[in-house]
Amino acid sequence: MRIRANILAASALMSVVVLSGAADAAVSSARNFSRKFGVVLTVVQEKCMACHTRNYDLPFYARIPGIKEIIENDYRNGLRALNLTGEFAFNKPLPGKISEVALAKTEWVVLNDTMPPAKFAMVHWGSRLKDGEKKALLDWVRTVRVRYYATGTASEKMAREPLQPMPESVPVDFPKVDIGKKLCEDQRLSVDNTVACATCHDHKKAGTDNRRFSEGVRGQSGNVNAPTVYNALFNVRQFWDGRAADLQEQAGVPPFNPVEMDSRDWDQIIAKFAADAELTEEFKAVYPDGWSGKNITDAIAEYEKILLTPDSRLDKWLRGKGYALSLEEKKGYERFKAYRCATCHVGKAVGGQSFEYMDLKKDYFADRGSPLASDAGLKGFTGKDEDLHKFKVPSLRNVELTWPYFHDGTAETLDEAVRVMGVYLSGLDVPMVDRRLIVAFLRTLTGEYHGQRLGGKAVEN
Ligand code: HEC
Ligand code: HEC
Ligand code: HEC
């Protein structure tokens, strides 16, 4: 009943969308989309949701005697690997728009025929996906990608891929960008005028500092690796633990972090800026209400919107230029997908979309030792136990230049990072030959900033 009702609700919603559209072609394509969505919903609700949604109201398997333990384990691990709570809700502004990550993960398990888990399928006849259902799921994943996530420049074939080209630019307010750039490079944001944002997010180092932990005022260092500011605009939230919602909120944090810039408050910073007549005049031309924390962070965030690195060789290839990647690099991309990498490192930024457990498949923290305060991950922000060891999936754009890797800065080479990912996040050991191919592929993600290839001639502006 509930499933049926949901399908009807989906169709009703689609009609609302459609009626506002008009053209016949649009109507029929929207109907088609809504029909596909209905089919997929039935499959997912019957065969997947029980283990992948929090508080699912009908744990149909819970009463089966003898396999309770397996099932409890499945439920816990299922949720850790993929949480579909809210993904299939009907009250979304865009019906059927589930996240790129959920799409990629679903595609992977269907292609590799791993879900529902074998142990479960053995005792549950009929729980396996039928061929028609698999086809419907795959077709739907690709349809949703093209409809909601394609950035518009991929060739027709590539628009269905989990990775998408980086946009050349996004609309910005240029006077704000100019002032934001100056502020990012201004050491007066720090208490003793020695550290700027650009100190730790250096253009010459692909927006990082290439240190395990950054060095702030008075030579202090923190306990977490500095991610790049390039393409940070596309992150679902900012920081490894997501504690800032967006770039503006993020920009208000480092000035007052005691080991980074250690200023007391905005008044202290603004007193220094206000004494600079030239800068104040320029600032007031853009922000008539003058200096304030809100305006300063607004300008910095606006500047960060231009820190995009399009036109990598991957982008060219996705746009249809077959020669942009070598045979080896194309094989690397296939391995990148086969080893599950593209289920988390997905979309135009090749990551940045979700939070995942660093100990998903094996206890990374026990193996590494030497606990760090930053290991808490998302739990450090939400306080919830279930968020322990969850980190924002980093973007892999320009990754060959952003070493060392991980929140703890422990992996110094890409080969090591790929090995660790295989063991702890993919649950698949990646042999050296395949690591080599994946690393070759990762090097094709190096883009251009203002027309200059990163890491080549030093990028100055
Ligand atoms: C009986 C519970 C159960 C059912 C039913 C189930 N899953 Fe899973 N799922 C799990 C568990 C447990 C994991 C964790 C990985 C593992 O242990 O194999 C998982 C992992 C996943 C993952 C993450 C990738 C991975 O392999 O780790 C995806 C994606 C997924 N499931 C999708 C689905 C889809 C789609 C369906 C429906 C066709 C489904 N699952 C049905 C229990 C379930
Ligand atoms: C002392 C070095 C240092 C300074 C100065 C600094 N940062 Fe950072 N930045 C870091 C570190 C370390 C992190 C990661 C912290 C975390 O996730 O907990 C970070 C994270 C970020 C992020 C989030 C990126 C992501 O992928 O989540 C952005 C954006 C950013 N910084 C921009 C700025 C701006 C803007 C300034 C100046 C107002 C600044 N930073 C000053 C070291 C620094
Ligand atoms: C289940 C999601 C998931 C899968 C699968 C996954 N990753 Fe990751 N990846 C992450 C997360 C989360 C991090 C950050 C972890 C941390 O720093 O604690 C990360 C970090 C990385 C980094 C370091 C980037 C940086 O800037 O520090 C690289 C490189 C990387 N992954 C490559 C891969 C490759 C290659 C694969 C496939 C073999 C893969 N990942 C599979 C989630 C995933």
Residue with CA closest to ligand 3 atom 26: 405
Please tell me the distance from the alpha carbon of residue 133 to that of residue 145, in angstroms, as a whole number.
18
Q: Is the pLDDT of residue 14 over 50?
A: no
- What's the average model confidence in pLDDT over 194-210? 97
Report how far ligand 3's centroid is from the alpha carbon of 406 (Å). Answer: 8
Which ligand 3 atom is at minimum distance from the Cα of 391?
Answer: 12
Q: Is 200 in the pocket of ligand 2 (CB under 6 A)?
A: yes
Q: How confident is the model at residue 13 (pLDDT cuts 50, 70, 90)?
A: very low
- Virtual CA dihedral for 230, 236, 239, 244, nearest 10 degrees? 120
pLDDT tens per residue across span 268-288? 999 999 999 999 999 999 999
Report pLDDT digits (tens) over 77-104: 898 999 988 887 656 777 788 999 999 9
pLDDT in tens, 236-253: 999 999 999 999 999 999
| pLDDT score recorded for residue 60 | 54
The radius of gyration of the chain's CA atoms, rounded to the nearest angstrom, is: 24
Say which range, 8-22, 104-118, 130-144, has the weakest mean pLDDT: 8-22
Among protein residues, the one whose CA lies closest to atom 42 of ligand 3: 393
Query: Distances from the Cα of 193 to the Cαs of 154, 185, 197, 213, in angstroms?
Result: 45, 11, 12, 20
Residue with the nearest Cα to atom 13 of ligand 3?
Answer: 393
Distance CA 343, CA 353 (A): 11
The answer to whether the beta carbons of residues 13 and 90 sit under 8 Å apart is yes
Round to whole Å and give the CA distance between 127 and 12: 29
Q: 197, 257 in Cβ contact below 8 A?
A: no
Cis peptide before 116 (omega within 30 of 0): yes
The separation between CA 263 and the C-alpha centre of its own chain, rounded to angstroms, equals: 31
Task: Please work out whether the CB of residue 254 comes within 6 Å of at least one atom of ligand 1.
Answer: no
| Tokens found for residue 58 | 């009908």
For ligand 3, what atom is nearest to the CA of residue 377?
A: 18
Q: What pLDDT score was predicted for residue 91?
A: 62
Which pair of structure tokens corresponds to residue 289? Answer: 């209400």
